[in-house]
Amino acid sequence: MKGRLMRAVGRYPEAEDARRRALEAKGDFWRVGLELADLFYRTDRRAQAQRLYEALYDRYKRGIFTTADDLGVAGRAAAAMEQFHDANELFREKHNDADAQKTFERPARRLRLPARSRPRQCPP
């Protein structure tokens, strides 16, 4: 969260530091790795960005990424590497009705929303 805030206000060194600390604390936090790659790209460190995008995409190819969020990360990494066909397929694969339902059900339960206020199954 701090990394996103620092990037939004243009404080790139602090944004990078926050993301690196997050990765050190939890090495499988793929979204932070993607955000760090995006930051490298934005600050003209394209080679570093490319290496991170490739590492993230490689994790997908090795079957490490399994959740919809992971597939979204792999899709963005593929798009950043201009592998648009693969990115498109990943974004299509990413949508999973059961996963989407869980994503919305948990906060709805915490907020104690009545069942009728909760999202229904996504249409095909």
| Average pLDDT score over the chain | 79
What 3-state class would DSSP assign to 41? helix
pLDDT of residue 123: 46
Q: Which of 57, 37, 54 is nearest to 46 (CA)?
A: 37
What 3-state class would DSSP assign to 57? helix
Domain boundaries, the chain: 2-117
Tokens representing 11 are: 């404080």
pLDDT score of 37 more than 70: yes
Best CATH choice for the domain 2-117 from the list 1.25.40, 3.30.310, 1.20.950, 3.10.620: 1.25.40
DSSP state of 118: S
pLDDT tens digits along 80-96: 999 888 888 887 776 66
pLDDT of residue 20: 82
DSSP state of 119: -
Q: How far apart are CA 73 and CA 65, in angstroms?
A: 9
pLDDT of residue 65: 86
What 3-state class would DSSP assign to 117? helix
pLDDT of residue 118: 46
Is 71 in contact with 93 (CB distance < 8 Å)?
yes
pLDDT score of 111 more than 50: yes
